Each structure stands twice: as C-alpha cells, then as structure tokens.
Structure 1
Amino acid sequence: MLADLLIAPFVDFAFMRRALVAVIAVALVAGPLGVFLQLRRMSLMGDALAHAILPGVAIGFFLFGLDLWAMSVGGLVACLAVALLSGAVARLTALKEDTSLAALYLVSLASGVLIVSLRGSTRDLLHILFGSLLSIGSDALMLVAAVTILSLIAFAIIYRTLVVECFDPMFLRAVGGKGATAHMVFLILIALNLVAAIQALGTLMAVGFMILPAAASRFWAQSVAGMIALSSGLALCTGLIGLLGSYHLDLPPGPAIVLMAGLAYAGSVLAGRNGGLLRRFFPGAHLQH
C-alpha cells in the first residue's frame, strides 16, 4: 500500500519521473539562494524579481507562443532590467531602492498579465503564473539541470565572499574583497533560477520554494552551511510530498509544493529550537521529563 502511494507513480509514469528530477534540481539550488536572500535581507526583492520576469516571458509568448527559449530569454532580460533600473532610480533620485523596485515590479506584473491576455487564453496565463510541473518537457528539464549545475559551481566560487559580506562588509572592503562582483553574480543567479523554475513552478510560485525552506531552516540551524543544507533538504522533502500530493489528489503541483513548504515553515516557527514560539514561551519545557 505504501509502495503504491510513494513509489508506483514514479515507476509507472515518465512524466512523474521528469517532474521528480526537476524538483530535485530546483531544491538543490533553492537552499543557498534562499539562505543568502534571507541573510542579505533580499527576500522581498526576490519576490519582486519573480514578478518582474512576467512581461519578458509574456513578450516571448506573444511572439513565439509557448516556446521555452523565447520565454526564458525574455524573462531573464526583464528580470535583470528591473533589478538594474530600480538600482539606477534609487541612486539618481530621492526614492529608496525598495520603493522603486516595488513600483517597477507592479508595473511589470500588470504588463505581463495584459500581454498574455491579448494573445492567449486563461489556460496559458495559468501555465505561466503557476507552472506546469507534471507536463515539463525534456528541453525544460535540461534547462533546469544546466542552471542548477552552473549555480552550484558559481556558489562554490563566491560562497566565502557572500558570507563575509553578510556579516562584516566593512572588513571585506578593507581587505579589498570583491563584494560588488559577488553581489552582481548573486543577482544573475537569482534571475537565472527564477527563469528556469518558471517551467516547473511558475512565476508566482518559484520564489516561495526558495524563501520558505530557508526561513524554516533558520529555526533549526545556527551556521550558514547548516542552514543551506537543511534548507535544500526541506525543499527536497516538501517538493516530493507536494508532487505526490498533487498526483494523488489531482491538485496543481506548484501551489501544492509551496503550501507544503509553508507547512514546514509554520512548524518551524512553532517548534524550532532557535527562537521557536514553544521555546520562547515555555523555555524550560524541553528539560522536563
């Protein structure tokens, strides 16, 4: 019975195996991305960039239909453009960067929805917004895998610089560290992974799979490496459970996966050993037998 629930879907159906590979690939890089977004106080920026992708994806869809590469390139260009433009507005005007980013992403989101509506149907719009994990093709799977491998290699190179910049940016400047370069590489990695995750989770769900496991890991792990490992592990587990739940209960997989990650986060807020509510309000309870 248990094997029928957990194993049989992947043995019997190729589309479930492809979806599983996509979930594993996205989960591996969701750990470091989500943790550094959190440590650098960029979680809301990640959410804004996920929405900012939409007009680029929509233009690619408008011109070429549901073509993977056209939508991916369009989304990447739109994401980087919004990130750079918001920074330029903040530096050249009195507006703060978070405000300029919020303004640009709201315009981007509305523009993207409008463009898709002009060319496609409600089904097409839902496909872009919430992904289509169970129908992910070989090309999309190769894109996700390639971005994951590239991202993990890049993180191995800039990991130490990112950690130092998170906790002691003055020291990094004093020793001539390339914090600005690492920050730019990090932004590019965010954009690449958001674009790759569109095919699986959609523009609205992709960032949730990065942020929620990372936020949950903060309640259990104390080191950056521990948070990254736990975040990737939680992303993998919640992704697998959400995928199986979407198959057995006939639910959309993207929202199901993100809701499972949300449950993991809620449980961590309640019972986490590092600042969880139970430890805070009942500090001696764990010592009682």
Structure 2
Amino acid sequence: MAGRVMWELLVAPFTEFAFMQRALAGALMLSLSACPVGVFLMLRRMSLTGDAMAHAILPGAAAGFLIYGLEIWPMTLGGLVPGAAVAVGAGAVARLTVQHEDASMAAFYLISLSVGVVMVSLRGSSVDLMHVLFGTVLALDDAAIVLIALVLVVTTLAFGLLWRALVAECLDPLFLRSVSGMGTVVHFGFLALVVLNLVAGFQALGTLLAVGLMILPAAAARFWTQSVLAMVALAVAIGAVASASGLLLSYHLSLPSGPSITLSAGAAYLASVVAGPRGLVVPRLPRRRHRAA
C-alpha cells in the first residue's frame, strides 16, 4: 500500500504525462549545464552578476516576443544580444573608468530590465509578461529541449577546455594573468557561458528565476565540501533533486512550476546552511578529545 502511494506521488506524474517528462528532461539538463556555472560564479564572488545578467536578457527576449510571439528561437537569439552587450559593456566600463564592475553591471541591468518590461507591456498582456518573467517549464516544447541540450553540449566542451584556467582564476587571478595571457579570454569566455545558460533557462524559469537554479545549488554545495570538482558534482545533484521535487510540488499542489523549483533549491540551501559541515551548527558542536593510550 505504501509503495503504491509513493509511486503515485513520486513516479506516476513523470510516467503518465508527456509534458511532465519534457519538463523534467529540460530541468535536469539545465541542472547539468547551469549548476557548474553557478559554482564558478560563487567562487569568483560574482553571484549577483549572474542575477544582473539574467535581468539583462529581457529586452532581447521582449523584442523577439513582439515580432514573433512566444517562439523559442527568436526570443532566445534576441536574449543573447543584450546579455552579451551588458556583459561586455560592464566589463569595458570597469576596465576603462574608475567604476567597479559590480556597479556598472547594476546600472546596465536596471536599464535593460526597465526597457524589457516596457517593451512587453506595449503589446502583450499581463499573462505574457508573467510568462517572460517567470517562465513555463511545464510547457517546454521540442525546440526548447533542443536549445537546452545544445547549451549543455557547449558548456560541457567549454569546461573541458577551460577547467584548469577557471580554477586558477578563482584561486589566484593575478597569478593566472602573470603566467598567461589567457586571463581576459577566460573572463569573457566565462561570461559568455553565463549568458548562454541564462538564455537557455529563461524559457523554463523566466528571466527573473533562471539564475535561481544556477546559484542556489552551488551555494548549498559550498557548505558540504571545499573541493571544486566535488562542489560541482554536488551542485548538479542538488539541482536535479530540486528540479524533480519542484515539478512534483507544482503538479500535486497546482503551484507555478518555476517558483516551485527555485523554492526547492532554496530549501536545500537553507538545510545546508544549518546542517552542512561548514554551516552554522556542525562547526560549533563540541568535539571529543581522544586521550592517548
């Protein structure tokens, strides 16, 4: 009896409904692609940069929506342009002026977000605006799945090529720049990966929540391990579990799917803050002293 109940709660929604299968496939691929990017964003202390860039893709997505409607490829390609422009523009301002990159990124993303909301509001309804801002993971079609899969392939290849340089830049960026001329290339290449994964994620989770699946599992994994490779693996696992549990919550409780996935990842983060070996409680527990025999 208990097994039957567990099957109906945890497995049946994914075996009986094609839209749940597509949603799970898309969310799992996003976890494999975006969570490692989130780990390096966190290690580079650029988590808020990811959030800013998630907002920055809105005008391009809005332009694609105004011209073609809710079509995945025009909105995706449109999102790439302002995302790349904000990343390059903020980096250029930080390198050529006295302003730090976080401040210039905030300025660019606020302008971009405002332009995007105005553009969607000109023609679309409040429902269209909610779709763009918060996504509809339960409505992923084959084109969206293909897009997410392509971004996963590109991200995997990029990490294979740039892994050592990315780790070195996280640990000691000045050393990387002193021994190699790859510092700038690695920095902007990594920002390109951030933009790609945010663009892949916005169709499922929206421009406001796409960064949630990128950052929250990575932040949770930080409380359990210090190894970068283990952190990446754990972040992917947390993202996958959060995706599946969020979809189940959305299905059984009739909740919006994107926020449910983000809340599940947030619950994993809060649990890690409390119970992780590097969290609030465990390091403060009294340790037994072993007496010498």
* Band of TM-score, shorter chain: over 0.9
Matched with 1:258 is: 262
Alpha-carbon distance, 1:189 to partner? 0.8
Alpha-carbon distance, 1:178 to partner? 1.6
Letter in 2 for 1:170: L
> Aligned match of 2:180 in 176, 186, 207?
176
Is 1:152 aligned with 2:156?
yes
Alpha-carbon distance, 1:90 to partner? 2.4
Residue by residue over 1:27-75, the C-alpha shift from the partner in whole angstroms, topping out at 9 and shown as x without a partner, is 1112210110001111000000000011111111112211211111110
Alpha-carbon distance, 1:203 to partner? 0.5
TM-score (ref. length: structure 2): 0.94
Residue by residue over 1:133-170, the C-alpha shift from the partner in whole angstroms, topping out at 9 and shown as x without a partner, is 10111101110111111111111110011001111223
Residues of 2 paired with 1:105 and 1:252: CA distance? 25
Alpha-carbon distance, 1:177 to partner? 5.2
Matched with 2:116 is: 112
Alignment of 1:211-226 (within 5 A): 211-226=215-230
Question: 4+ residue runs of structure 1 moved beyond 3 angstroms?
Answer: none
Aligned residues: 285
Matched with 1:188 is: 192
Is 1:5 aligned with 2:12?
no
Residues of 1 paired with 2:229 and 2:35: CA distance? 10
User: Percent sequence identity over matched residues?
Assistant: 55
Residues of 2 paired with 1:174 and 1:95: CA distance? 24
Pick which of 97-106 and 239-248 moved more: 97-106
Is 1:98 aligned with 2:102?
yes
TM-score (ref. length: structure 1): 0.95
Residues of 2 paired with 1:177 and 1:244: CA distance? 47
Matched with 2:137 is: 133
Alpha-carbon contact 1:131-1:198 (below 8 Å) kept:
yes
Could you tell me which runs of 5 or more consecutive residues in structure 2 were left unpaired when the two chains were aligned: none
Alpha-carbon distance, 1:180 to partner? 1.8
Alpha-carbon distance, 1:283 to partner? 3.8
Matched with 2:253 is: 249
Is 1:278 aligned with 2:266?
no
Letter in 1 for 2:174: M
Pick which of 43-52 and 81-90 moved more: 81-90
Residues of 2 paired with 1:263 and 1:255: CA distance? 12
Residues of 2 paired with 1:225 and 1:181: CA distance? 22
Residues of 2 paired with 1:264 and 1:283: CA distance? 25
Residues of 2 paired with 1:117 and 1:174: CA distance? 49
Alpha-carbon distance, 1:185 to partner? 1.4
Matched with 1:53 is: 57
Matched with 2:236 is: 232
Alpha-carbon distance, 1:89 to partner? 2.2
Matched with 1:163 is: 167
Alignment of 1:33-52 (within 5 A): 33-52=37-56
Matched with 1:24 is: 28
Could you tell me which runs of 5 or more consecutive residues in structure 1 were left unpaired when the two chains were aligned: none
Note the aligned Cα RMSD (angstroms). Answer: 1.4
Alpha-carbon contact 1:161-1:177 (below 8 Å) kept:
no
Residues of 1 paired with 2:157 and 2:94: CA distance? 31
Residues of 2 paired with 1:105 and 1:265: CA distance? 26
The 3-state SS of whatever aligns with 1:277 is coil
Matched with 1:78 is: 82
Alpha-carbon contact 2:33-2:151 (below 8 Å) kept:
no
Is 1:201 aligned with 2:187?
no
Residues of 1 paired with 2:104 and 2:192: CA distance? 19
